[in-house]
DNA sequence: TTTTCCCGCCACTGG
DNA sequence: CCAGTGGCGGGAAAA
């Protein structure tokens, strides 16, 4: 059965509305297609918004997420540097280091209250000791940053790179990143609302092939699998299916029918008038593949399969037995630290961290060897 | 019904 | 003051 080439009937119908065609993931794919080419080195938010045919607000979402992984970096107001997929590995390394550092020293975070600190248990982080009073005034000069999409993204990534072969369920991620969803005592923290951000992040990562949406083998629980650099890089975003060369058209949204703002419709110059046609430059990726020579096999694919994480992952995960044992000493301390959670003692969180620490241990050894091997220049 | 998550209001930020 | 940013969550499409 030939795939439905054109479903004109639908796309033509002015009242047709499909949520999928407007997904952040798709938008991100297009974004990447436009900028992931040699020659590009800076991005203008306005330009991006015009080319993609979306409101600027959406660009901020994408840009913030991409920046967390190193693909972009802020240059100035309205301007970003394009770093490319090749910048991801380094960014991940940094995140990893940062994660470790934080875990160890975070315990004493008492006043620093700044910089990105993996303040798990979400929320106003430190202080907030017992129940001093109402949550508002005593805040620092805004902990707005602490709730940013960018930070959330980084923490999300840390979850993966700090563990070995991963398949993290949505629930676990949500629990670790934001506070516990069903936290009993107080903190009716509206984390449920924040889970939306998790979906956003997952969608753009999916479009980059950094992760993949799946579900646990048995339980139907949704989960994310880390694909790493292999997935992304070189081929850039593998077009989802066919080319979804479909760009949003300004007046087409039925939701905007009563354009309240009549935004900047008459864009600066943006000569391109034809709307139904977009240069599908996605197919032939640029030839400058990121030097992923030898592919270094990345973290092995020997993923779970062996042991499945039940819906209620029992604490102490058996842990693979291949772990080395030279760093044991140091790790030991870490584990202690991990289990010592002064505030908001959250069972699930502790388990997660314990797991990550253990995973980190073995991974570290592996990397070490690898490094020696390919240690060249 | 629940899960996923788009849209855009409007508070905040940096000039 | 203003334009650029980006939390945040209502509520509707998708499963």
What pLDDT digit, counting tens, does each position of A48-77 carry?
999 999 999 999 999 999 999 999 999 999
Q: How far apart are CA A247 and CA A53, in angstroms?
A: 6
Distance measured from the CA of protein residue A9 to the C1' of nucleotide B15, in angstroms: 49
Query: pLDDT tens for residues A193-234?
Result: 679 999 999 999 999 999 999 988 777 889 999 988 766 654
Structure tokens at A49: 């918004």
User: Which nucleotide comes closest to A203 if you measure CA to C1'?
Assistant: B5
pLDDT of A182 higher than 70: no
pLDDT class for A191, splitting at 50, 70, 90? low
Distance measured from the CA of protein residue A240 to the C1' of nucleotide B9, in angstroms: 32
Distance measured from the CA of protein residue A189 to the C1' of nucleotide C11, in angstroms: 20
- Greatest mean pLDDT among A57-66, A115-124, A329-338: A57-66
pLDDT of A79 higher than 60: yes
Q: In A106-239, where does DSSP find H-type helix?
A: 149-161, 170-177, 191-208, 228-231
Q: How far apart are CA A325 and CA A230, in angstroms?
A: 28
* CA dist list (Å): A199 to A5, A86, A174: 29, 25, 10
**Secondary structure (3-state) at A44:** strand
pLDDT of A12 higher than 50: yes
User: Which nucleotide comes closest to A215 if you measure CA to C1'?
Assistant: B3
Q: How far apart are CA A167 and CA A209, in angstroms?
A: 14
Chain C bases near protein CB atoms (7 A cut-off) = 4-11, 13-14
Chain B bases near protein CB atoms (7 A cut-off) = 3-9, 12-13, 15
User: Which nucleotide comes closest to A21 if you measure CA to C1'?
Assistant: B6
Sign of the C-alpha dihedral computed for residues A320, A325, A326 and A327 taken in this order: positive
Distance measured from the CA of protein residue A196 to the C1' of nucleotide C13, in angstroms: 15
pLDDT class for A248, splitting at 50, 70, 90? low
Question: Which is it for strands A222-226 and A72-76: parallel, antiparallel or unpaired?
Answer: unpaired
Structure tokens at A75: 């240059």
Query: pLDDT tens for residues A343-355?
Result: 333 444 444 555 5
Binding residues for strand B (Cβ < 7 Å)? A 19, 22-25, 54-55, 57-58, 77, 141-142, 144, 170, 195-196, 199-200, 202-203, 222, 253, 255-256, 260-261
What are the two backbone dihedrals, phi and then psi, of residue A21, each rounded to the nearest 5 degrees? -70, -5
pLDDT of A151 higher than 60: yes
Residue A206's contacts (CB-CB under 8 Å, 6 or more residues apart) are A25, A212, A213
Sheet with A167-169, edge to edge strand ranges: A167-169, A222-226, A211-215
């Amino acid at each position: 059965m030939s795939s439905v080439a054109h479903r004109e009937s639908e796309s033509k119908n002015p009242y047709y509305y499909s949520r999928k065609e407007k997904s952040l993931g798709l938008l991100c794919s297009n974004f990447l297609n436009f900028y992931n080419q040699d020659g590009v080195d800076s991005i203008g938010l306005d330009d991006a918004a015009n080319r993609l045919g979306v409101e600027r607000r959406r660009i901020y979402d994408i840009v913030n997420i991409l920046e967390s992984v190193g693909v972009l970096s802020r240059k100035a107001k309205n301007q970003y540097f394009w770093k490319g997929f090749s910048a991801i590995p380094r960014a991940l390394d940094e995140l990893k280091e940062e994660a470790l550092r934080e875990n160890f020293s975070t315990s004493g975070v008492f006043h620093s209250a700044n910089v990105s600190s993996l303040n798990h248990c979400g929320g106003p982080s430190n202080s907030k000791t017992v129940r001093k009073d109402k949550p508002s005034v005593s805040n620092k000069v805004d902990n707005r940053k602490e709730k940013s999409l960018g930070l959330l993204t980084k923490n999300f990534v840390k979850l993966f790179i700090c563990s070995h072969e991963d398949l993290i369920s949505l629930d676990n991620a949500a629990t670790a990143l934001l506070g516990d969803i069903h936290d009993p005592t107080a903190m009716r923290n509206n984390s449920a609302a924040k889970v939306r951000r998790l979906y956003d992040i997952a969608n753009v990562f999916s479009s980059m092939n950094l992760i993949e949406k799946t579900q646990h083998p048995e339980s139907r629980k949704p989960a994310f699998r880390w694909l790493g650099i292999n997935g992304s890089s070189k081929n850039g975003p593998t077009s989802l299916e066919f080319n979804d060369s479909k760009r949003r058209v300004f007046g087409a949204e039925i939701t905007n029918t009563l354009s309240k703002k009549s935004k900047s419709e008459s864009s600066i110059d943006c000569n391109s008038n034809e709307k139904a046609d977009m240069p599908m430059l996605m197919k032939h990726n640029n030839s400058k593949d990121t030097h992923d020579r030898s592919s270094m096999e990345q973290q092995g694919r020997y993923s779970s399969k062996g042991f499945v994480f039940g819906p209620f992952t029992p604490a102490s995960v058996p842990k693979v037995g291949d772990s080395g044992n030279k760093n044991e000493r140091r790790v030991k301390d870490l584990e202690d630290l991990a289990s010592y959670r002064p505030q908001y003692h959250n069972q699930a969180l502790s388990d997660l961290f314990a797991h990550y620490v253990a995973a980190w241990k073995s991974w570290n050894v592996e990397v070490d060897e690898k490094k020696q091997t390919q240690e060249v220049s």
